[in-house]
Every structure is written in structure tokens, then in C-alpha cells.
Chain A
Amino acid sequence: MSDRRAPHPLLLACPDCDLLQRLPQVAAGTTVYCARCHTPLWRCNTDSPNRTLALALAAGILLLIANTVPMLGLSVAGRETFTTVIGGVLAMWHEGRQVVAMLVLFTAVLAPALEIACLLTVAVAVRRSLAPPWVGMLLRSYELIREWSMIEIMLLGVLVALIKIAELATVIPGLALFVLGTLVFLLAAMAAVFDPRDAWARVAWTASAPNELGAQRLPEAMP
């Protein structure tokens, strides 16, 4: 592929304990753990870019639907109100809690959208033999944004809100609620199938530094 690939593609330092080790040859579907602290280091996935692309596309479509159709309705004394995720954000904003509104907007809408968009672009870009360095920027954004994408937590929050309100009025679950439920599983599958190690190996380097790593005998990570 390229002469600028990692000189030791199987070498890695554990992110949690810094133990230097090399990756063993394992069958697809195997997860490799750090030999010292047992942190999961890498999952060997087959056909990662294609599967990521498929799941990211599906997740993107569902996220679009989830944010356009009603999520929850309330019926009391002949009056009905409906809300969407954005509706919740707007309600918080109008009630004078702008900071909280922005946090909800970010964690429930923007971060999932960015997470999906990043992986969608990366999955397309790494099909070329050597992806340009901006793909690396997207990969980096993906890692940063992931923990702020909280669809599953929001869904549980909606469920609790639903039960709190059910004592006062009739609650009508909307289509978006079921779409979001599906999206939680799709996002989890997308993250599981995506192989950042493989994607990074296909990205062009920003600097062509020789990496003289020496020839130490290294422990092997455990499958």
C-alpha cells in the first residue's frame, strides 16, 4: 500500500498502563486485551469500512427521522401537546435555562449527528489506498465526540419523564420514541464494527519521521 505505514504496525502501548506490547495474529472477531491491565486493546473486525458505512448510513437516516417526528404527546382534559427532542431543548431555552438547553442539544442531537457524519466520511475515505490527512482529523473528532453522544441516556430520561407524567395525564408515545430505541442499537453496533486501528493505518502521515524503535523483545497482548 504505502511506504509511510507504521514501521511496526503490530506494536502498541496500552493506553491505560503504557505497557509496550505487540498484537498477536488472531482470528476475526477476537478481542485482544492488555497483558498487564486487561484493558481491551483492539477487536479484530472483518470488512470494517463496509460494515461501518452501512450502519452509519442507517443510523443517519434514523437520526433524521427521530428529530422530525413527534416523540411524546400528552393529553389532559381534551388538550394535547406534543414534543420532539428539539422541542425539549426549546422549552428549556424559553424557561431561561439556556446553558442546559445547549447541553441537551449537544448531547442528544449534535454529538450523535457528528459521530455518525465522521464515521460515514471516514468509511468512504479509507476506501482509497491512502486517505488524505484530513481523514485523521475526522477520526480524532470521532474519538473526542463519542462520549458526549448520549442517545441511550436521553431515551432512559424520556422513559422516566413519561412515568412521572403518567400519574397526571395520559401520555402518548410517538414514532420518534421507537426510532430512537432502534438507533441506540445501531449506534452501538456501528461503534463495535468500526476499527480505528485499521482506519488509522490507511491515513497518510502528517510527517515522514523515521521511527527507530529498536528491537526489544516484547510481551504479547492476550486474545
Chain B
Amino acid sequence: MSAAPASAMSLGLAGCEVCGLVSRPPAGAAMARCPRCGERLHCRRPASIERCWALVIAALILYVPANLLPVLTTSTPLGGVSDTIMQGVIELWSPSSWPLAIVVFVASITIPLGKLIALAYLLITVRRGSVRSMEQRVRLYRMVKFIGRWSMLDVFVDTFVVALVQLKPLMWVEPGPGVIFFAGVVVVTMIAVNNFDPRLIWDLPQQEKQDHA
């Protein structure tokens, strides 16, 4: 730990995002490839901030119909009931199954929204070149990456409820249009996180301008 910490980029090196090999991209070349795995080599993911913003906004738009449209419609000879995600959580709330209701609430409502807020915060602080709480921010990024996939929970719940409750003409369940938008939110936010380059958090403002491509 005696040496001064230096990023690979500041030394003209790039760590391959696929195989991890650190190599020196040839100077002046428009596009370098990793000598080991052939992956395109760049010091920072190209247009990371712009792509991530675009996907965050897309997910935010999808989030509205995902929560307002019904995800399940339960039909009996007496009529049908449509449930949105939130109504599904309320229905699950009972003295015996309330822990599961909390899990579904967190996975379907809190995680997607929290993920979008966290990404927006990371994008804004990176754009501003903030030098504060870098370690906490990279931890936030790792958390978002790790728990984001759990939002898929509700898609699986709906799928198997629909598959099982097919007892026509007694009772049957159909998936509502909300489930498409909800699945869209999950996929788009996962891709958004993958487009964010956490190494930007550590770049000092003047360094960022040097090699942004």
C-alpha cells in the first residue's frame, strides 16, 4: 500500500471488461481489442451516462402502466375481479402470510422505484464530478446490481397463478396487460444498470475530459 493509487486509465491502460486482462490499447487507434479475448477495449464504457439516462427514463414511463393496469383477472361464473400489483399485495396480507406480502411489496414496488432513484442519483453525481462519498456510491451501485433481478418475482407469481388456476367453468385466472409493462420495467432497469460504468464515480473532473470516448 506504499504506492499512490492510480487508475488503469490514468496510466494509459485498460482492464478488459470480459476477461479482466490489463493491456495497453495502441495509441491513436480508433478501436482497440483485448489481445486475449478479442473484446472491444475501452477505458470507460462508451456513452455510458447517456444510455443509462435513456433507459432510466424509459423504465420510469413503463413503471406507471405497470402499477396502474391489472396484472391478474380472476373470473368465476359470478363475475371477474382484476388486481393490480398493489391490490395483489393487499390480498396476500393475512395473519399467516404477511411476511410474503412484504417480500412481494419490496420486490415489486420498492426495488424498481428505488433502483431508478439510485441510478438517477449516481448519474447526477457522476456528471457533476462529485468527489464525496465515492465508496458509498460504488456500494450503492453494487447493491442495485445485486438486488435488481428480484423484481422478476411478480412476473413468476403471475405466471404460475395463471398456469394453475384454469378450472373453467368454476374459476380461471387470466394475465392482465400490466404484467407486460412490469416485465418491461424489470428488463429495462437491468439493462440500465449494466450500461452504467461505476468507474466514472472515481474519475476526477479533469481526468474525465481527457479520455471520455
* Chain A interfacial positions (CB closer than 8 Å to B): 6, 8, 11-20, 35-39, 72, 74, 76-77, 79, 81, 83, 87-92, 95-97, 99-101, 103-104, 107-108, 133, 136, 139-140, 143, 147-148, 150, 153-154, 156-165, 168-169, 171, 196-197, 200, 203, 205-209, 211-214, 216-220
User: What would 20 more interface pairs be, CB under 8 Å, given A196-B19, A206-B36, A206-B38?
Assistant: A20-B7, A20-B15, A36-B135, A74-B164, A76-B171, A77-B167, A83-B164, A108-B156, A148-B149, A153-B149, A156-B156, A157-B157, A160-B153, A160-B157, A169-B167, A171-B164, A200-B21, A200-B36, A211-B24, A219-B2
- Tell yes or no: B183 within 8 A of A by CB: yes
Distance, CA A29 to CA B18, complexed state (A): 23
**Nearest-Cβ distance from residue B20 to partner chain A, whole angstroms:** 6
Distance, CA A181 to CA B177, complexed state (A): 30
Question: Which residues of chain B have C-beta atoms less than 8 A from A133's C-beta?
Answer: 37-38
Distance, CA A148 to CA B162, complexed state (A): 22
Distance, CA A207 to CA B7, complexed state (A): 25
- Max chain B C-beta neighbours (<10 A), residue from A11, A35, A161, A207: A161
Distance, CA A159 to CA B18, complexed state (A): 35
**Nearest-Cβ distance from residue B196 to partner chain A, whole angstroms:** 11
Distance, CA A100 to CA B97, complexed state (A): 26
Q: Check B165–A74 contact: CB distance below 8 A.
A: yes
Question: Which residues of chain B have C-beta atoms less than 8 A from A6's C-beta?
Answer: 21, 36
- Tell yes or no: B141 within 8 A of A by CB: yes
Which of B5, B167, B174 is the one whose CB lies under 8 Å from A19? B5
Contact with A along B83-106 (1 / 0, CB 8 A): 000001001100001001001100
Q: Check A83–B160 contact: CB distance below 8 A.
A: yes
**Nearest-Cβ distance from residue A205 to partner chain B, whole angstroms:** 5
Which of A79, A103, A206 is the one whose CB lies under 8 Å from B183? A103
Using a CB-CB cutoff of 8 Å, which residues 1-50 of chain B contact chain A?
1-3, 5-9, 11, 13-15, 17-24, 33-39, 43
Contact with A along B185-213 (1 / 0, CB 8 A): 00100100000001101110000000000
- Max chain A C-beta neighbours (<10 A), residue from B97, B152, B171, B180: B152
Which of B5, B24, B157 is the one whose CB lies under 8 Å from A213? B24
Known interface pairs A136-B37, A153-B152; A161-B171 also in contact (CB < 8 Å): no
**Nearest-Cβ distance from residue B112 to partner chain A, whole angstroms:** 14
Cβ-closest chain B residue relative to A149: B149
**Nearest-Cβ distance from residue A105 to partner chain B, whole angstroms:** 10
Q: Check B35–A97 contact: CB distance below 8 A.
A: no
Q: Check B35–A150 contact: CB distance below 8 A.
A: no
Question: Which residues of chain A have C-beta atoms less than 8 A from B159's C-beta?
Answer: 88-89, 91-92, 100-101, 104, 157, 161
Known interface pairs A95-B174, A157-B155, A196-B20; A216-B3 also in contact (CB < 8 Å): yes
Distance, CA A18 to CA B1, complexed state (A): 16
Q: Check A81–B3 contact: CB distance below 8 A.
A: no
- Tell yes or no: B179 within 8 A of A by CB: yes
Question: Which residues of chain B have C-beta atoms less than 8 A from A157's C-beta?
Answer: 152-157, 159-160
Known interface pairs A157-B160, A160-B103, A211-B23; A18-B36 also in contact (CB < 8 Å): no
Q: List 13 A-B contacts (CB under 8 A).
A: A16-B199, A36-B5, A37-B135, A38-B135, A74-B167, A99-B180, A100-B175, A103-B183, A103-B187, A153-B153, A160-B100, A213-B13, A219-B1
**Nearest-Cβ distance from residue A110 to partner chain B, whole angstroms:** 14
- Max chain A C-beta neighbours (<10 A), residue from B1, B141, B161: B161
Distance, CA A200 to CA B183, complexed state (A): 34
Q: Check B6–A97 contact: CB distance below 8 A.
A: no
Which of A11, A13, A139 is the one whose CB lies under 8 Å from B7? A13
Question: Which residues of chain A have C-beta atoms less than 8 A from B134's C-beta?
Answer: 17, 37
Q: Check B39–A214 contact: CB distance below 8 A.
A: no
Q: Check B170–A208 contact: CB distance below 8 A.
A: no
Cβ-closest chain A residue relative to B7: A18
Q: Check A136–B2 contact: CB distance below 8 A.
A: no
Question: Which residues of chain B have C-beta atoms less than 8 A from A212's C-beta?
Answer: 24
